[in-house]
Amino acid sequence: MIRAYHPVAGVQSAQGLDVSDFQGAYNWAGAVKAYPGLAFGVFRLTQGLGAPGTVSPDPDAAWNHAQIRDNGLRRGAYHFLDPRLDGAAQARYFTGAHDRLGFTGTDMLFCDNETAGSSPQATAACAEAFMAELVTLRPHNPVGVYTYINFANEGNCAGLERYPLWLAYPAASAPKPPPPWVAWTFWQWGQRNGIDADAFNGTIAGLDAWIASFQPPAGPPYRHLTRAGDTLGGLAASRNASLEHFLSRSAVDYQPADEAALAAAKLPAGIPYYTENP
């Protein structure tokens, strides 16, 4: 029987791969064939605010984004944080690029926090601002922070303990997480054929449950959204979303209410009511 996890000490885990811009348009179909039971894939999407020289957004992001999905893997994307720049602005840049690819609520989103800024405190504050804005913009997507032990021990991740940890630690046995974390969720344990290899701290079923834990609770399938006088800016603000994000989601999440729904709610005709997927 082929196992779906790498035989490392103390961990039975769902396995994945992550790629940077150096791998280009990665052969995800070949990876799935080479590693039966592969569960997830993560790709680099953006860096900083896309200044010249950052290769950002990644020119192969659309390929990796689609191929991870098309090969049946759970999908993730990451942003390489520049601690010299505004963290919240970087989160908006990252999610804007993600919007243009066409995202789903189950996409995993990560902040790669491994570059030192002017001080550990400044680096940690930038990362915290990024994550806070990311959660505001993507409240139902799984999120996490990627880093390595020495970097975290220096204080560059202070205040990030409420976000799941993706820890870089090439070794044959499971790592002890650095402060401020008490557990790791993902572990970059080494490489497979030159590609970074990762483990989720649990089985494939556990990974699916972790992703599902970020989803909103079940409720009525639709609720009325707009009234006469509502503006797009006001609707976006009421959901703690940017106007850009709200508009990018409108075609997916907001559909015109049908006549039967309007009649049942005793709403007047001629007013642009919409229904919103939860």
Per-residue pLDDT tens digits of the chain, which is 278 residues long: 223 344 444 556 899 999 999 998 999 999 999 998 999 999 999 999 999 999 999 999 999 999 999 999 999 999 999 999 999 999 999 999 999 999 899 999 999 999 999 999 999 999 999 999 999 999 999 999 999 999 999 999 999 999 999 999 999 888 899 999 999 999 999 999 999 999 999 999 999 999 999 988 765 443 445 555 667 666 666 555 566 655 555 444 444 445 554 455 454 444 444 444 43
pLDDT at 251: 45
| 133 close to 163: Cβ distance less than 8 angstroms | no
How far is 105 from 214, CA to CA, in rounded Å? 9
pLDDT at 210: 97
Partner residues linked to 274 by β-bridges: 256
- Read off the amino acid at residue 266: K
Cα three-residue angle 227-233-237, rounded to 5 degrees: 95
Dihedral sign for Cα 237, 214, 174, 178, please. positive
pLDDT at 153: 98
Give the Å distances, CA to CA, from 51 to 48, 55, 57, 133.
Answer: 7, 8, 10, 20
How far is 109 from 142, CA to CA, in rounded Å? 6
Domain 15-212, CATH class in plain words: alpha beta
Cα three-residue angle 5-101-246, rounded to 5 degrees: 115
pLDDT at 217: 72
pLDDT at 194: 94
Domain with CATH 3.20.20.80 in the chain: 15-212
pLDDT at 278: 39
Tokens of 76: 């993730």
How far is 146 from 188, CA to CA, in rounded Å? 9
Question: 3-class DSSP state for residue 59?
Answer: coil
- In 3D space, the residue among 3, 17, 109, 7 whose CA is nearest the CA of residue 71 turns out to be 17
Instruction: Tell me the per-residue pLDDT of 125-147, one tens digit each, with 9 for 90 and over.
Output: 999 999 999 999 999 999 999 99
Tokens of 273: 């009511």
Instruction: Tell me the per-residue pLDDT of 33-71, one tens digit each, with 9 for 90 and over.
Output: 999 899 999 999 999 999 999 999 999 999 999 999 999
**Terminal Cα-to-Cα distance of the chain (whole angstroms):** 40
- In 3D space, the residue among 162, 129, 117, 120 whose CA is nearest the CA of residue 144 turns out to be 162
Instruction: Tell me the per-residue pLDDT of 237-252, one tens digit each, with 9 for 90 and over.
Output: 655 556 665 555 544 4
